[in-house]
Amino acid sequence: MAETIFDKIINKEIPADILYEDELALAFKDINPQAPTHFLVIPKKQIATVNDIAEEDRVVVGHLSFVAAKIAKEQGFADQGYRTVMNCNEYGGQTVYHIHLHVLAGKPLGWPPY
């Protein structure tokens, strides 16, 4: 599977503003924030798109939401609210082919997102 920029962040080959790390996941601030708070939660395992999530990946993919909520609680915006989004392929707006959960917060977010 092709390496992405996120593998370089996981391997600390390029810098990122890391918020959380454990054996399964890494969370870091998005380089181009779309809300006052915008960070990404990614699995350390390479999974290119949501379509590539295998049965064995169910725990790690669920863990991404757990980490998002943990950071939201720690940073104090959990009750105010936030959005988690995982874009898939071209029409979903995916640009980095290593799945990532966007976490957006800090202002009321519009819906639908187009």
Catalytic site positions: 100
Closest approach, Cβ 77 to ligand 5GP, in A, equals 19
Which chain residues interact with ligand 5GP by CB under 6 A?
5, 16, 28-32, 40, 87, 93-96
Closest CA to 109 of 38, 50, 61: 38
Minimum CB distance to ligand 5GP smaller for 17 or for 22: 17
User: In the complex, what is the shortest distance from the CB of residue 23 to ligand 5GP, in angstroms, rounded to a whole number?
Assistant: 21
Q: Which is nearer to ligand 5GP, 49 or 78 (CB)?
A: 49
The b/e string for 15-48 (b: 16+ C-beta within 10 A; e otherwise) is: ebeebeeeebbbbbebeeeebebbbbbbbbebbb
Q: Nearer Cβ to ligand 5GP, position 80 or 89?
A: 89
CB-based burial, 75-99: b 16+ in 10 Å, e otherwise:
eebeeeebeeebbeeeeeebeebbb
